[in-house]
Amino acid sequence: MRILKDFKIPNFKFPKFKMEGIEIDEVNIDLEKAEKHKAKKEIKNYEPTHYETIKEIFLRSQKEYKDCPLILEKPDHKEPYKEITYKEFCNDVIHLGTALIKFLGLKDKRVVIVSETTYDWYVSYMAMLCGVGIAVPTDKELPNNELENVIKRSKAEAVIYSAKKKDAIKKIREGLPNVKYFIQMNEENPLEGKDIGFNHLLYQGKQLVENGDHSYLDIPIDPDEFRLLIFTSGTTSNSKGVMISNRNLAENINAVSAYVKLGTSDRLFSVLPLHHTYESTIGFILPFACGCSIAVCEGLKYIVPNLKESKPTALLAVPLLIENLYKKINANIVKSKKDKLVNSMIHVTNGLKAVGVDIKRKVFAEIHENLGGNLRIIVSAAAPIDAKIGHWIQDIGIAFLQGYGLTETAPIAALTPEFEPKIGSAGKAVICAELKIHNPNENGEGEVYIKSKTLMLGYYEDEEATNEVIHIDENGDRWFNSGDVGYLDEDGFLYITGRSKNVIVTQNGKNIYPEEIELLLGKVPEIKECMVYGKEVEGEKELVISVKVIPNMDEIDEKYGKGKTDEEVYKIIWDKIKEVNKTLTSYKAIKHLEIKKDEFEKTTTMKIKRFAEIKKDKEKQEEKK
């Protein structure tokens, strides 16, 4: 799953570890003998759910979990978490849905939702999926021009936004004549022109319901109808919009329920942005379907105190966040001079667990307390993660699961079953999906194809792009070319080894489409041709967004005078690139420029052979060593 903006990790602070009160006598365990005598139990999936729509989930949870806490949100940093029950939430969804349809006339219309993670986001999203129209969740970090593009392209007739986006909406609203309503979250104002407060809509909806209007709950949902639009890149007119149905989302819940068991005692910690399907589906709809609660993180700098206060049992994260938690905890263990003791205890508790004695949570209780004390599952997705981190998480007594998928698979295609961990893999195909390796090489590696009930309907207003990635086999089945390269082991677990598409995936899982940036650079008269790519730089863990440029010397000679030195040409091009960078989200900004004096290697259709050019780049770097 490729997600997230420039996921900047703050300086977490963990206390020194005392590791006192735990004494483990030297235990000699014959691991080979223990392995032979370990009970062999047949691995079976849990009994899955069979939902077809999100509304089915909504109606069941409304009834089954009405008095359970659902959302835990902090009014401000100094106050404790406030609990909102399923009953309160479901009533607000019904009231908002009723008002959007009856008061504003938005039945079957597109509505953009742009906000940080907040209670009103959850209510808005659920109200849309249960009968209003087509939801368009949008990245709150988009620059104004990109946000305007998304609203225009989606043909949205309303925008629901938070107070933090008020200035952005004010700046772009004149360019959005087709938007009928701008709805500000946590605002009381009645309708004035195109503006209305979210809370006023809740009030209007409540009045309608109390006066006998129960039509919202009676709206039938076609499970296969287009109901969710997510822009994979969210910028220029060339970005792809993914069309998703209720069935796509519901099948995610069915799929995960077969591999992971969640219940009313579970609490998920929401730290990732809700506009992406990973968090909105697995971090919201899944726990909602299981009677779990969700604690909203105030922001990354508050992650440690929020974990301690909310005491979650499950954490969905990207590798970058997990890696930083791992590094910070271990740095403090070393600082506390307890690293040898911890390593020894890991060895001993692994041995004990092998013969059916699991005391990990007791032994590593101090580490657990710094993560809230109840954490039992960490799920990593969106990008690869070092296997040693996954092993360490398991070593201290927390189940480490990995998920794989894309926005196009809404998003789950593969997941590690909690009863069958295999660290290093991206999981195995979920029960509604099938994976195959297309044209495998001698090592069994090839492009990963996915057949799944979670597979998108197609790309929005782009049949050609849809046909490029979805292939119909002789049985009429739809197979999606993920663009990833990998292999399947004998147990059906997937291992991702590379990428076949041009997309650049950052360490935290966000995808960057080179063609999108190239389109903007192509508008610069001083640039004749260019190629954007992720450059491997020694000492840098993250790919550096780079561009190779062939300057338009005729334009440069005319504008700046003939006879410019290489350094002067470089400066002219770099200044132009900096102007383009200002229109891009920060993680897409170009950091490195190479002026290319020879021609690009191209196909017969005059397309640049990207991988041939990248190979040359690597060869040059090797020569310099």
Q: What is the pLDDT of residues 278-305, one digit of tens each?
A: 999 999 999 999 999 999 999 888 999 9
Handedness of CA 411, 417, 422, 423 (dihedral sign): positive
Residue 448 reports pLDDT greater than 90: yes
Residue 331: its H or E element: helix 319-335
pLDDT at res. 42: 62
Q: Hunting for tokens 């109840």 — which residue is that?
A: 374
Q: Which one of 198, 220, 242 terminates a domain?
A: 220
Q: pLDDT tier at 29 (50, 70, 90 boundaries)? A: very low
If one counts the domains in the chain, the total is: 2
Q: What are phi and psi of 15, to 5 degrees?
A: -75, 165
**What's residue 499's pLDDT?**
66
Give just the sign of the alpha carbon dihedral 46, 47, 51, 54.
Answer: negative
Average pLDDT over residues 354-383: 93
Q: Is residue 559 part of a domain?
A: yes
Q: Which of 202, 220, 238 is the last residue of a domain?
A: 220
What's the pLDDT tens digit per position in 72-106? 999 988 999 999 999 999 999 999 999 999 999 99
- Mean pLDDT for 439-466 is 94
Q: Is 479 helix (H, G, I), strand (E, B) or coil?
A: strand
* Residue of higher predicted confidence among 16 and 384: 384
| 359 pLDDT more than 60 | yes
Tokens in use for 529?
């041709």
Does some domain include residue 266? Answer: no
**Domain range enclosing 96:** 54-220
396 to 308, 343, 346, 349, 378: CA distances (angstroms): 17, 10, 7, 9, 12
**What local confidence, expressed as pLDDT, does residue 452 receive?**
98
pLDDT at residue 536, as a whole number: 83
Q: Report whether pLDDT(497) > 60.
A: yes
Size of the chain in residues = 625
Q: Compute CA distances 228 → 135, 245, 254, 277, whole Å.
A: 5, 6, 19, 10
HEC-encoded secondary structure of 502-540 = CCEECCCCCEECHHHHHHHHCCCCCEEEEEEEEECCCCC
C-alpha separations of 511 from 58, 189, 603 in Å: 32, 38, 25
CA distance 438 to 449: 7
pLDDT by residue (tens digit) across 142-189?
Answer: 889 989 999 999 999 999 999 999 999 999 999 999 999 999 999 999
Task: Say how far residue 383 (Cα) sits from the centre of its chain.
Answer: 10
Dihedral-angle region of residue 410 (phi above 0 means left; psi in -120 to 50 means alpha; beta otherwise): left
| 32 pLDDT higher than 80 | no
pLDDT number for residue 235 = 32
Mean pLDDT, the chain, whole residue set? 90
- pLDDT tens digits, residue range 502-550? 778 777 777 677 877 888 898 899 999 999 998 888 878 788 999 999 9
Q: Starting at the earlier edge strand, list the strands of the sheet with 82-85.
A: 82-85, 69-73, 293-296, 267-270, 314-317, 377-380, 399-405, 412-415, 428-429
**Stretch 479-494: mean pLDDT:** 93
Closest CA to 169 of 112, 248, 108, 102: 112
- Give domain status of residue 437, yes or no: no
The tokens describing 377, both together, are 């599952």
User: What is the token pair recorded at 459?
Assistant: 């790309």
Alpha-carbon span 129 to 113, nearest angstrom? 12
CB 164 within 8 A of CB 185: no
pLDDT recorded at residue 437? 96
Q: What is the CATH number of the domain that holds 615?
A: 3.30.300.30
What is the pLDDT, as a whole number, of residue 318? 86
Closest CA to 505 of 372, 589, 382: 382
Say if 614 falls within a structural domain.
Answer: yes
Q: What per-residue confidence (pLDDT) applies to 237?
A: 40
Whether 346 is covered by a domain: the verdict is: no
Within a domain: 602: yes
**pLDDT reading at 27 higher than 70:** no
C-alpha dist (Å) from residue 146 to 63, 139, 152, 323, 516: 41, 10, 10, 31, 12
- CB atoms near residue 128 (< 10 Å): 27
Q: What is the rounded (10 degree) CA torsion for 246, 247, 250, 256?
A: -140
pLDDT in tens, 2-18: 434 344 555 666 666 66
Determine the Cα–Cα distance for residues 259 and 273; give it in Å rounded to an integer.
24
Residue in this structure with the two tokens 């292999």, named with its chain if needed: 487
- CATH of residue 84's domain is 3.40.50.12780
DSSP for 560-571, please give it: H-S---HHHHHH
Residue that has been written with the tokens 């196909």 in this structure: 603
Is residue 600 domain-resident?
yes
pLDDT of 485 over the 70 cut: yes
pLDDT > 90: what percent of the chain? Answer: 71
pLDDT at 12: 60
- Look at residue 448 and tell me if it is in a domain: no
Q: Please identify, among 189, 220, 251, the residue that sits at the C-terminal boundary of a domain.
A: 220
Q: pLDDT for 239-283, tens place per residue?
A: 789 999 999 999 999 999 999 999 999 999 999 999 989 999 999
pLDDT at residue 615 in the model: 81
Closest CA relative to residue 326, chosen from 407, 390, 234, 420: 390
Residue 403 has pLDDT above 50, yes or no: yes
pLDDT interval class at 319 (50, 70, 90): confident
Peptide bond preceding 312 in cis form (omega within 30 of 0) = no
